[in-house]
Structure 1
C-alpha cells in the first residue's frame, strides 16, 4: 500500500512537471508569435521538440522520485498526460483524436518511459527493477 502511494505520487509529480513545462513553453511560443513575424508553421518543429522534451523530463522526474520501476512510472506518466489531453479535447472541444495524434501520443508515452528508466538509474534506484 505504501509503495503504491509512493509510485502514484511519483506519476502525479511527473505529470504536473509535464504540464508546467507545456504551459511555460506555450507562453513563450505565443509571445514569439504575437510580437515577431514568425508563423505557426515556421516553429512547428520547435514545438514538437519541446513537447517530446517535456514528456522525457516528466518521465525522468517520475522515475527519479519513484526510484524503482522506471519504465512503468514513465509509461504511466505518459499515459496519464495523454488521458488528460484526450479528455480535454473530447469533452471540452468536442473533437475526437486524429490518427496523427494517436501516433504522436504513442511516441510521447515511449519517450516518457525512456525518461523514467533514465531517472531511476541516475537517481540510484534498483537497476534490476527497471
Structure 2
C-alpha cells in the first residue's frame, strides 16, 4: 500500500513537472517571437491555448505511463495539482482569483490530463501479465 502511494505521488510529480517544463519552453519561444517579430499577442492566442492543452495532455500521459494504473485518477489528480499551483500563484502573487473563463479552462485542463493519463496507462504500461 505504501509503495503504491509513493509511486502515485512520484507519477503525479513527474506529470506536473512535464507540464511546467513544456510551459516554460513554449513561453520562451513565444516571448522571443513576440520580441523580435511584428507578431501581436492576440494573433497567436489560439495557438497558445492549443499548446497549453497539449502540454497538460502530455503531463497526464507522462504520469499515466509512470503510474501504470488508474489513468483517469492519476491524470485527473495531475491536472488538479497543476490547476491548484496556478491558482495559488495567481492568488498569492497577484491577489486575484480565477475568473469564470479561467475556471472553465482549468476544468477542461483537468479533463484533458485525465484523458492523457488513460492513454498513458494503456500505451506505455505494456501488456498485463496475470
The TM-score, its normalising length taken from structure 1, stands at 0.95
Partner in structure 2 of residue 94 of structure 1: 95
- Within 1, Cα distance between the matches of 2:121 and 2:20? 21
Structure 1, gaps ≥5 residues long = none
CA RMSD, Structure 1 to Structure 2 (Å) = 1.1
Structure 2, gaps ≥5 residues long = none
Partner in structure 2 of residue 108 of structure 1: 109
Runs of 4+ displaced beyond 4 Å: none
- Within 1, Cα distance between the matches of 2:95 and 2:5? 34
Alignment of 1:1-130 (within 5 A): 1-124=2-125
- Within 1, Cα distance between the matches of 2:125 and 2:8? 16
Contact 1:75 1:110 (8 Å CA) reproduced: yes
Contact 1:64 1:123 (8 Å CA) reproduced: yes
The one-character-per-residue Cα deviations of 1:51-72 (angstroms, maximum 9, x if unpaired) are 0000000000000000000001
Q: How many aligned positions are there?
A: 127
